[in-house]
Amino acid sequence: MRRTLLLVTSSLSLGTALLAATPALAQRAQGSEAPATEEDDDFHRNPGIIVTAPFVRDLSILAGTSELSGDDLSREARSQIGDALTKLPGVSATSFSPGASRPVLRGFQGERIRVLTDGIGTIDVSNTSPDHGVTVEPIILDRVEVLRGPAVLLFGGQAVGGAVNAIDKRIPREVPEEPFHLDALATYGSAADERSIGASLDVPLTSKLVLHLDGSYRKSDDLEVGGFVLSPGLRAEQLEEAAEERAEGNIEEAEEAEELAGLRGRIPNTGTETYSFGGGLAYIGEGGSFGVSGSYYNSLYGVPERPGAGHHHGEEGEEEAGGEEEEGPVTIGLDQIKVDFRGEVFLPGFFETLRLRAAYADFKQTEFEGNEVGTVFTNEGLEARMELVQRERGGWRGASGVQYVHRDFSAIGAEAFVPPNTTDQVGIFTLQEVRSGSFELEGAARYDKVNVKSQVLGVERDFNSYSFALGLAYIPTDQLRIGVNLNRAQRAPAAEELFSNGPHIATQAFEIGNPDFTTEKSWGGEAYIRWSTPDVNLSLTGFYNRFDDFIIDVPTGLEEDDLPIFQFIQNDAKYYGIEAEASVIFARAGGFRFSADGVADYVHASLDGLGPVPRIPPLRLLGGLEAQSDTLDLRAEVEWFDDQQRNANFETETAGFTLVNASASWKPFGASRGVTLIASANNIFDVVGRRAASFTKDFAPLGGRDFRISAKFSF
């Protein structure tokens, strides 16, 4: 792949400034710690959500905001960001394999979820298929923000389901007071013999110039599971096939099917190896700041294969009398070069700040079948944002800006199910808030012009999308907030939904798009109530989305290349559900705070006249008990998943399961000395769990019993 390091000096769009620093109800009770202020915006010290833009703190329109940071992020960090976030309310994961797992928010995944790094898209191809890894390394992050609700439309119509914003330090935001600042994390996990290490270094070159360096390495073997690898349904299929082969005298084939049915203990071909490194330079002065960074990400991981899946690559007659050549295991190698820019200028007058954010990336992914190259995906992209932040006057504040996204995508090979295409998107937006007494009124609006073109097909489509959000909050006391948010969102079809036409082995389907699709439209709303005191945090949110021309692929009952044909269609749909969380400090003794916390979420999704939407997470309940002191944190938790029996055509049921976990975090040299040791035991009873949101749930269950130890350093 052609590699180009492009320093982006012009930026067009919102950036992370439109994220709100709502009280972190997902953060476990932190005693009486005060919320972060603009002056103490230090990612090493603050446990709560710290957002790049102070002007939108506590926006009610972001009622579904939660985050993962500090020791919690260190303990939950996995190979892929999707698996690191699943204990947050409303969050599941695609869990395709240990090397590829994307977040699922409120039942939405793929094109309806934006995964961002510091407010800019990852510029990879993880949104095109669940077998494609996300180019974010969790072990070098400061925190991850999960955003749901109407205001997320400000990141574009593609974020109708929500956004995940991973915050790193590659472009420094402050000048360290010490000669250097080092953060490092090393982890070992037993379930996949996982070894990982990551570190970052910030060095002040002058009183206003900061250099940043970071790197990470992770390697794991095949994932251990608590029982049979195949689901009961797939095991029955293999045993039935074995009986048929034996009856026909095909002993070798019968023994192979029986071996598959009896496979247990480890999922073959699920090992990973990933490394990354990056560096940045930032000028931080009284009138503003500017910085640039460059990074490289590389990953090689195995893809689990569905038993009985078959597909052809060539024309009929290519296979000669020598017999059908057996394909090797499928592995994926991907790498990305990325350049980022961030700038901020303080202004006089009506506008307080001008913010710029941009990124360019050159991405390549190669799918191998054994030692042979199968399909190569490339994606060269640019995303840029500019925003103007208003100075607060008389209870009125806000921001407005523009955004530009360019994507040049191609797939070459026997399984290139999408032809080469380009996408260009220009968006303009505004977010405004007025507070008077006990009431807050917030509004947001966005317009996008999207051009999607495939020269190979000779097809070019233009879409105009209009999105709006309105929120009203009642705040009778500092502890209580009650609100309602409404939104109207539109999403232009993605190139994959328009142009797909070929075998997609990752999803075991032959996918066919429709270049005549119209814009997807939705009406949505949510109502919430939040209560927050030093000892008690409670939150309950109910949401509803009604879609016109909802785009989804459905089975046709036909086959092509030994694969079932899935046709993308537009159909009306509705999603609704609840998210609840609570944390209570119920006792203090001996220097410890004793707390209980819980999370509950549920999604119900249907296609009008067609039944349930596929791959929807079931009801989930999580409860934990914790004892915290300045140097020691002990935690035990139970996470229960209900059966998922609301299934689409050709989709199997998902059995419920319960995970029991425990962890301990110890600061041996005191709370301020920067050394933390973490030990955890996950899935203590070694149960077999399968995520309903996963394409591979029937032959790639979640990991079994996993003992993990981590050492974290910050000084």
**Which tokens hold the place of 14?**
């919102």
Q: Is the pLDDT of residue 16 over 50?
A: no
Q: Is the pLDDT of residue 216 over 90?
A: yes
Note down the domain range covering 514. 15-229+267-312+325-714
Question: Is 238 among the domain residues?
Answer: no
Split at pLDDT 50, 70, 90, the class of 276 is very high
Residues in contact with 576: Cβ distance below 8 Å, sequence separation at least 6, in sequence order:
542, 543, 544, 545, 603, 604, 605
- Residue 175 CA, chain-centre distance (Å), reads 30
| Residue among 397, 482, 474, 481 at smallest CA distance from 443 | 397
| Residue among 135, 550, 119, 517 at smallest CA distance from 340 | 119
Question: Is 478 among the domain residues?
Answer: yes
- pLDDT (tens digit per residue) in 403-417: 999 999 999 887 788
- pLDDT (tens digit per residue) in 109-151: 988 999 999 888 999 999 888 889 999 999 889 989 888 766 6
Q: Is the pLDDT of residue 623 over 60?
A: yes
Q: How much is the average pLDDT of 227-242?
A: 95
Starting at the edge strand found earlier in the chain, the sheet holding 143-147 runs 66-69, 143-147, 162-167, 113-117, 120-121
- pLDDT (tens digit per residue) in 571-617: 999 999 999 999 999 999 999 999 999 999 999 999 999 999 999 99
Average pLDDT value over all residues in the chain:
87
What pLDDT, on a 0 to 100 scale, did the predictor assign at position 673? 86
Q: How many domains does the chain have?
A: 1
Which ranges of 474-538 does DSSP label H, i.e. alpha helix?
Answer: 495-499
CA-CA distance, 357 to 11, in Å (whole number)? 6
Question: Is 102 among the domain residues?
Answer: yes
H or E element at residue 640: strand 632-641
Question: Is 582 among the domain residues?
Answer: yes
Q: Are 485 and 525 in contact (CB under 8 A)?
A: yes
Question: Is 6 among the domain residues?
Answer: no
Q: How much is the average pLDDT of 644-666?
A: 95
Residues in contact with 93: Cβ distance below 8 Å, sequence separation at least 6, in sequence order:
80, 82, 83, 85, 86, 101, 102, 103, 104, 691, 693, 694
CB count within 10 Å of CB 640 equals 16
Residue of 26 and 312 predicted with greater confidence:
312
Question: Is 41 among the domain residues?
Answer: yes
| Residue among 275, 271, 273 at smallest CA distance from 224 | 271
Residue of 119 and 666 predicted with greater confidence:
666
Question: Is 236 among the domain residues?
Answer: no
Residues in the chain: 715
Residue of 496 and 329 predicted with greater confidence:
496
**Which tokens hold the place of 626?**
């914790």
Q: Is the pLDDT of residue 671 over 90?
A: no
Cα angle 599, 604, 608; round to 5? 165
CA-CA distance, 652 to 606, in Å (whole number)? 16
Q: DSSP E strands: which ranges in 391-420?
A: 396-413
| Residue among 295, 277, 292 at smallest CA distance from 363 | 295
Q: Are 459 and 453 in contact (CB under 8 A)?
A: yes
Q: How much is the average pLDDT of 270-295?
A: 96
CB count within 10 Å of CB 150 equals 28
What pLDDT, on a 0 to 100 scale, did the predictor assign at position 219? 97
Beta strands 509-512 and 563-589: pairing type? parallel
CATH of the domain at 278: 2.40.170.20
Question: Is 9 among the domain residues?
Answer: no
Q: Is the pLDDT of residue 233 over 50?
A: yes
CA-CA distance, 440 to 419, in Å (whole number)? 48
What pLDDT, on a 0 to 100 scale, did the predictor assign at position 431? 87
CA-CA distance, 244 to 667, in Å (whole number)? 61
Q: Is 505 helix (H, G, I), strand (E, B) or coil?
A: helix
Q: Is the pLDDT of residue 160 over 80?
A: yes
pTM, two decimal places: 0.88
Beta strands 272-285 and 264-266: pairing type? unpaired
What pLDDT, on a 0 to 100 scale, did the predictor assign at position 327? 64
